[in-house]
Chains A and B, each alone.
Chain A
Amino acid sequence: MTDRADWPLYEIFIRARGGLDHKHVGSVHAADPTMALEHARDVYTRRQEGVSIWVVRSADIVASDPADSDALFEPARDKIYRHPTFYDIPKEVDTL
């Protein structure tokens, strides 16, 4: 493998079928977005996994800091009343 320090990383999102969301499937290295799309097609859609591809430069994704987990996610833990599990569902409703 040659040095690909100048090939940035792209995150790949694939829509499996019309109507579904694009889901993150992995990442590829590529020189630019066009090449990233082709690499994504060659690497992640070989087995009919998708009908649409999004590529996003990994560097453009703003992520939460794992160190902030306590502040961001911990407070939701004791607020179980936010889950819709305290309602009686009428018998007539089959699925909700």
Chain B
Amino acid sequence: MSMATATAQPVERENYLNKHYGVGSWLFTTDHKRIALLYLISITFFFFIGGFFALLIRLELLTPASDLVQADTYNKLFTMHGMVMVFFFLIPSIPAVLGNFLVPMMIGAKDLAFPRINLLSWYLYIIGGVMMLHCMLTGGVDTGWTFYTPFSTAFTNTKIVEAGLAIFVAGFSSILTGLNFVVTIHRMRAPGMTWSRLPLFIWAHYATSIIQILGTPVIAITIVLVAVERTLHLGIFDPKLGGDPLLFQHLFWFYSHPAVYIMILPSMGVVTEIIACFSRKRIFGYSFVAFSSIAIAVFGFLVWAHHMFVAGISVYAALVFSLLSYAVAVPSAVKVFNWTATLYKGSIHYDAPMLYAFGFIGLFTMGGLTGLFLAALGIDVHVTDTYFVVAHFHYIMVGGALMGYLGGMHFWWPKISGRLYPESWARLAALIVFLGFNLTFFPQFVLGYLGMPRRYADYSHMPEFQVLNVLSTAGATVLGVGYLLPMLYFLWSMRYGKPAPDNPWNAAGLEWKTPSPPTTFNFEEEPVVTWEAYNYEELDAPHKEEVPVVR
């Protein structure tokens, strides 16, 4: 393999970053790695917008009275926070950035199957994003990110249709990404890269793509119905005109519950790669981890109505959905147990990506277990629409998905940028994120259990909740620092960081057999895979030869 030996040259060799220069070379690129960077910049922008809304929400809740903003403004703040974070940050985050960059490289392909469709998906994302920005700057939406009918279609006078269309367009970007991944994984694998040799990151993205392909169109048509009903005053969901608002909730959650798995599954894939690398072991129970991803994707489509236990669905339906929601916990637990079993007797390295992976396991487990509380009919009635729910899904979506994203960004940053980030700063940031996160969201579990409802600007009749809210706001500040740090030292490293070797972690996986940063077509010649995934025992075996590959 020529690319394994072509390391250590002093001058910068040609790679995907320096091959072409100029704005046009970026805006019209079809290179999956450049599109990944376009996505990285765009979603980071939206992350900080969503974060800004979160900051205002937390500041308002610092005191019981609604003194910083009025209730109407507060409604808009949490709505826009949710819409931006869900549709413009979390859903594209790992698939569109790390997935775009790594899926072709991990399976030994030169690019995704449809490079131009890949670029189109980024443009759709940007069009949707610009529409969302315009909507926010000209008044925003106040319904909550769920835009429940008939409030959204018959009552609110905010910009539902524009926000809906923004999400509609961004949704097609998500569908096209998923479509590209499925075709690429089926058709573009290098010789010898069988399904059982695929990195589990790929399995996770395959499962994610299935949800993107089959779930997203349902919310697309739901948005069309909402927009038409609102514009023409029809009665599809409006009970006053004979429609059924529950139908809206069913259609909405049919996508929006699986959407949570769009956020968490890729993160699980990232964590699997990191755990194997930094405990220097083959992942425990490869096929169980692989198929648990598929099982989560499949079960994930069958549990949506657990968001509607108090909405008036039949008690028998609720029982079935409760049981099915418990069933999702099984493949999720399989993953957690397999990760911990991989750690057992591994030679564990506490590098920054591994710290994020540890954080992920702990926080995801907390989020998952509290999800079981909410799947239980009795407890759900008690804590519905309280901060308990808010804390639960932030443990999954921020503690889980975002920790995985940051872990992955650190793990593959040397490959993406060709530079090393400052390790001690990175460990410090990981610690700050973990502490800040728990300080922000753990008090919210308590708040919710004590009965503080979500989506209220004013809790002055319950002043005893202030202490926990102050803790939460303080935690959010710490968390904000934790998120700013990586952005700063990543930017710093692009200029001042040490050049990264091709495989700084001595990790398994085809992507590490390319130069750092890779060349435009990734591989000089088509790789032929003859080894299993995560062959760390072979990699760490006392020096045999240059490349520890049995050919």
A and B associate: no
Question: Which chain A residues have a beta carbon within 8 Å of chain B's beta carbons?
Answer: none
B residues with a Cβ closer than 8 A to A are none
